[in-house]
Amino acid sequence: MSDFANLSAKDFNPFLSFSGHRCCQVFHFGVVPYQEALAWQRSRVAKCKLDPALEDTLLLLEHPPVYTLGQGSDTRFLKFDPACSPVEVVRIERGGEVTYHCPGQLVGYPILNLAYYQKDLHWYLRQLEEVIIRVLAEYHLQGSRIPGLTGVWVEGYKVAAIGIKVSRWITMHGFALNVCPDLSGFQAIVPCGISDRPVGSLEQFVPGIQMSQVRQQVAIAFADVFQVQLIEA
């Protein structure tokens, strides 16, 4: 369990003082098998559909090695036979192509009701990118967007991937920020279907970077960008 789990609500006071903002529960589950996190998301989304007034949630966690493919992704972006893969391969309902998750990569799953924000998927994607860009700025790194693509790059390296699913304006899936992972797993795929842009990590630019610190910064940036009141779950 990281230091984030020991933070109290007072640590987020600058973002709790706004009146009339949505509450957002923040969960940290450590390293969680992908299927368990997926089941948790689906269960929460189902509850939110039944009761749209439920508070929002943000899951911050890591996964054991796993490849995930969006619902319409092309298997030609896999450089191996998925039937013979030693690493789990999962096709899911998010958009986008294949990506890779592993320890050292911070994954965020916001479950938000966009009816309380903006009913605009492009807006939502840009907001998620903005969260990452603000975190990078804490390390004096310039996060950039590339027109026509989704994600965040630093000096030409893609450090954050984003893939979402929205149903009845309730979101699931989210973003993956490469903090200090073993990037070798990306060599077996064409990440996000983009063959001409390399994948990178924050550790390349900030040696010794700590996951626990990045996790805190992501939570604070998320609260700032979406103007929510963070509640430690």
Active site residue 48: no
Domain extent listing, the chain: 21-232
The architecture that CATH gives domain 21-232 is 2-Layer Sandwich (3.30)
- What is the pTM for the complete model shown? 0.90
Q: For 164-192, how does the pLDDT look when each residue is reduced to its tens digit (9 = 90+)?
A: 999 999 999 999 999 999 999 999 999 99
Q: For 52-82, how does the pLDDT look when each residue is reduced to its tens digit (9 = 90+)?
A: 999 999 999 999 999 999 998 999 999 999 9
Per the CB < 8 A criterion, the answer to whether 14 and 227 are in contact is no
Q: What is the pLDDT along the chain (233 residues), one digit of tens a residue?
A: 333 233 333 333 333 334 467 899 999 889 999 999 999 999 999 999 999 999 999 999 999 999 999 998 999 999 999 999 999 999 999 999 999 999 999 999 999 999 999 999 999 999 999 999 999 999 999 999 999 999 999 999 999 999 999 999 999 999 999 999 999 999 999 999 988 889 999 999 999 999 999 999 999 999 999 999 999 87
Say which of 48, 102, 180, 192 is annotated catalytic. Answer: 192
12: Cβ contacts below 8 Å, ≥ 6 apart: 219, 220, 223, 230
